[in-house]
Amino acid sequence: MLAAGGMLLSSGTLAESNYPTRPVRLLVGFSPGGTTDIIARLLAPELSLFFKQQFYVDNRPGATGNIAAGLAARAAPDGSTLIVVPAAFSSNISVYRGIGYDPLRDFVPIARVAAVHNVLVVHPSVPATGVGELVALAKRRPGELAFASPGHGSTPHLAVEMLKLRAGGLNVLHVAYRGMNPAVLEVLGGQVHAIISTLPPAIAHIRSGRLRPLAVASLKRAPALPEVPTFDEAGYPGYEAAAWNAVLAPAGTPYDVQTRLNLAIVQIARARLFQSRLARLGADVIADTPDEFIAYLRVEIAKWAQVVKAAGVRIE
């Protein structure tokens, strides 16, 4: 059996560990019903079955996940507390001043579970059918085009800021809402021109023609929108703003616990039924190793730090 770090791990080694000896909580820094919460609730019963011990979700919403992350960072490093995080985990350290934890120093990686595609959509009245046309329109009409987001400093907001930088500077308006659904509704109503949205709240409106997709913000096309190009294909090489979700544990968690959790999550996530459930969310399974996840996280932290600094996005 191949372990997370690439070492061969025998079934006997796995059997020697009695982890977990008590219920395990999965902290989620958002209210029930969002993508991070849904993925945590899909994982919890499967992990309970795998380990024959209760895994349960504990929602601690607030500050774009920082409250829950702070609790997780201070929890006992014995595997009894884990945290399920979104992509904002990699940017919060740059966006927020004094968050009280370090995403690299205070945690050990378990695995990225899945990634939901983000997609740039516009209201049908916007005269643009591709990213290039939208950028050209914004340059012809500085200060007129408005982009919605689910909140200041959120990944969709930073994705727009990254597009502005990659396009050589754009003068567009940013309108922040309290969540993705109200932001998408404003674009549907034509009050705001565009948004980089996660796929689930936008897909039905794309299919009905009420929103026009211009590009997906992942490096590969979304299976649900195979005709829509990536930003990379649209002329912005390497542009990526994925809405991924991952599991971490407090720093100091024993390596064997980290390894067992990774093996369990990889096995669960690669099961056909779990993949079909994720597909209904517009998500693709990742199920990577801790080493792969930490390498990706370091790149994401550095990328968003540059965007935040250049765009002046900061929350005191």
Please name the CATH architecture into which domain 118-216 falls. 3-Layer(aba) Sandwich (3.40)
Q: In the chain, which ranges are continuous DSSP H helix?
A: 11-16, 35-51, 66-74, 92-95, 131-140, 155-166, 180-188, 199-208, 255-269, 272-280, 290-311
On the 0-12 / 13-18 / 19+ scale of CB atoms within 10 A, 192 is buried
Residues 6+ apart with CB under 8 A from 170: 135, 138, 139, 142, 163, 164
| The predicted structure's pLDDT at residue 33 | 83
Residue linked to tokens 């080694």: 13
4 CA to centre of own chain: 21
Whether the domain at 11-115+244-311 and the domain at 118-216 fall into the same CATH topology:
yes
List the 243-250 sheet strands across, edge first.
55-59, 24-28, 81-86, 243-250, 107-116, 283-285
Pair 69, 38: CB distance under 8 Å: no
* Radius of gyration for the alpha carbons in the chain, expressed in angstroms and rounded: 20
Give 66's pLDDT tier (boundaries 50, 70, 90). Answer: very high
Whether the upstream peptide bond of residue 20 has omega within 30° of 0, thus cis, is yes
- Name the one residue in this structure whose structure tokens are 């929602």: 59
Q: For 187-215, what is each residue's pLDDT tens digit?
A: 999 999 999 999 988 999 999 999 999 99
Number of H helices, E strands in the chain: 11, 11
CATH code at 11-115+244-311: 3.40.190.150
User: What's the pLDDT at 8?
Assistant: 34
User: Which residues have CB under 8 Å from 237's CB, separation 6+?
Assistant: none
- The answer to whether the CB of 67 falls within 8 A of the CB of 60 is yes
User: Stretch 67-89: mean pLDDT, rounded?
Assistant: 97
Q: Where are the domains of the chain?
A: 11-115+244-311, 118-216
User: Cα-flanking dihedrals φ and ψ of residue 194, to 5°?
Assistant: -155, 165
Name beta bridge partners: 116.
243, 283
Q: Could you give the CA distance from residue 307 to residue 303 in angstroms, rounded to a whole number? A: 7
- pLDDT bin (cut points 50, 70, 90) of residue 180 is confident
At 111, is the secondary structure helix, strand, or coil?
Answer: strand
Which is more confidently placed, 21 or 179?
A: 21
CB 206 within 8 A of CB 215: no
CB 189 within 8 A of CB 107: no
**Which burial class, exposed, middle or buried, applies to 293 when counting CB atoms under 10 A from its CB (0-12, 13-18, 19+)?**
buried
- The C-alpha torsion from 53 through 84 and 5 to 3, rounded to 10°, is 30
Q: How far apart are CA 118 and CA 40, in angstroms?
A: 20
What CA–CA distance (Å, rounded) separates 42 from 268? 10
How does pLDDT run across 112-163, given as a tens digit for each residue?
A: 999 999 999 999 999 999 999 999 999 999 999 999 999 889 999 999 999 9
Q: Is 211 strand, coil or helix?
A: coil
* CA torsion angle 198 246 88 223 (round to 10): -20
pLDDT at 9: 40
- List pLDDT tens digits, range 209-265: 999 999 999 999 998 899 999 999 999 999 999 899 999 999 999 999 999 999 999
Cβ count within 10 A of residue 130: 16
